[in-house]
Chain A
Amino acid sequence: MSIKHFDYVRASSCAEAVALLSDPTHISRPLAGGTDLMVLRHKGEVQWDRLVDISQVPEMRTIVQQGEAIVVGAAVTHAEIVEHPLIQRYLPLLADACHSIGSPQIRNRGTIGGNVANAAACADTLPALVCLDAVARIVTKDGEMAVPVKDVVVGPNRTSLPAASVIRDFVIPIPPAQARMAFFKIGRRQVQSISRLSLACLGWLDADGRVAEVRIVPGACTPQTQRFDQAEAVMLGQVPTEELVRKAGQAGAVQMIAITGRRWSTPYKELALPALIERALRKVFGLPEVR
């Protein structure tokens, strides 16, 4: 079913957006930057008769520090995240992920909430948000709920978001000062490219130089974006060495195949993923780069 024409309404608050989305006389979809919805529209895949514009809802447009967390509004654009001093200072991983998206034009429109809610398998903010333990705060007609981003996206283009709800913002804990992070992405070209594979990584060492914390989250890799705990287990409590990062990379490939089975892309990804994991761990734990 494709609908020929549709209506438009602009919401001025989350509550109003949810009320409009719940209106049973319309098939409504939330519209933010339009970088996914307008493509569907062009392809004639219109599954709504009204768009509820949430791109200018004030409480969804801010980046603020609240105690030990940064709160990023869902309608903040990728470009705004890249340029924001709080993000650059505390969450460079997220800035790098957002910078890797599309083109200047796309980054000026596309929003972080849209990237999560659209839940593309290749969404570049997902591995970064999961790696940073981000929690989405969702407004529904029954009130507000907080859900870790890893549980919001349950599969390619599938979310656990209730009907007629909107993500208001993301609460992202500020990692400890000694944490280092990395984001790498492989696409067919440097810009305007869909991720073939990406990797978000974060970690820090204890006073004895052993790995106190490590998080390894591949993107465009598994149906649900998740930490690769088997690769992490290789590193945890150890002094990072060349041999160890290689082992972690291999453990990552084994875990990927255990989750996805052998797919058409596996011959490529089982080589590329360990290389990305190694590269990220080298950067995070200060080992020399290998080219």
Chain B
Amino acid sequence: MEIRFTLNGKPTAVDVPPDITLLRLLRDYLDMTGTKCGCEIGECGACSVILDGEVVNSCLVLAPQVEGRRVVTIEGIRGPDGGPNDLQEAFIEAGAIQCGFCTPGMVVAATVLLRKHGYPTREQIIEGISGNLCRCTGYQQIVEAIQMTVLRRGGLPEKEEHA
């Protein structure tokens, strides 16, 4: 069946079987492999994308469910010059990437978190990425990268915020 939706700001139409997931649509039919295929049962968050402004596991969305809706993938998250944006630069700087498999999902989840909370607290950051598993970093550097972005976007360090 043909599915029409907005993908990373562009109107998109793709002909796929009705019983595949959004994850498979992206990777196998549109060759957009930035969205990673991890557990495929909604546990790991590697396949996270933004559906109408909310972070979701693309492995749990049936492809036809995105008909008429807006999807943003990691390919749609970048700086004005097309390179990494400040959040992605912070991930590199903080050493928040080892094997890199969880990174697209982490950046997607963090992008929604930063949009929703503006200047999230450490607690909100930890909750915001709680649906994304990382088996390398122990999360510390990932939380630091997001905190770094908060600071650079004009947020205050948490202690001063509460003073």
Interface residues, chain A, with chain B CB atoms under 8 Å away: 5-8, 10, 31, 33-35, 38-39, 41-43, 51, 53, 55, 79, 102-106, 108-109, 190-192
Contacts and interface: CB of A to CB of B under 8 A. Distances in A.
A105 B19 contact: no
Contacts of A51: 19, 62
A8 B18 CA distance: 6
Interface string B106-138: 000100100000000000000110111000000
A46 to B, nearest CB: 8
B57 A106 contact: yes
Most chain B beta carbons < 10 A, residue from A7, A31, A104, A109: A104
A42 B24 CA distance: 12
Given A39-B42, A79-B54, A103 B62 contact: no
Given A6-B18, A8-B18, A105-B131, A39 B41 contact: yes
Contacts of A55: 65
Interface in B7-52: 17-19, 21, 40-43, 45, 48, 51
Contact of B65 (A34, A35, A102, A104): A34
B61 interface: yes
A5 B32 CA distance: 24
B45 A105 contact: yes
Contact of B19 (A7, A43, A109, A190): A7
Nearest to A39: B41
A53 B131 contact: no
Q: How large is the interface on B (under 10, 10 to 19, 20 to 34, 35 or more residues)?
A: 20 to 34
B21 A38 contact: yes
Nearest to A48: B19
Given A105-B55, A106-B131, A7 B18 contact: yes
Contacts of B61: 34, 38, 109
Contacts of A38: 21, 41-42, 59-62
A104 B132 CA distance: 9
Interface of B: 1, 17-19, 21, 40-43, 45, 48, 51, 54-57, 59-62, 64-65, 67, 109, 112, 127-128, 130-132
A110 B57 CA distance: 11
A10 B19 CA distance: 13
B131 A104 contact: yes
20 contacts: A5-B17, A6-B18, A33-B60, A34-B61, A35-B42, A38-B21, A38-B42, A51-B62, A53-B65, A79-B54, A103-B45, A105-B48, A105-B60, A106-B57, A106-B60, A108-B56, A109-B57, A109-B61, A190-B130, A192-B43
A277 to B, nearest CB: 27
Contacts of A190: 130
Contact of B128 (A7, A31, A104): A104
Contacts of B41: 38-39, 42-43
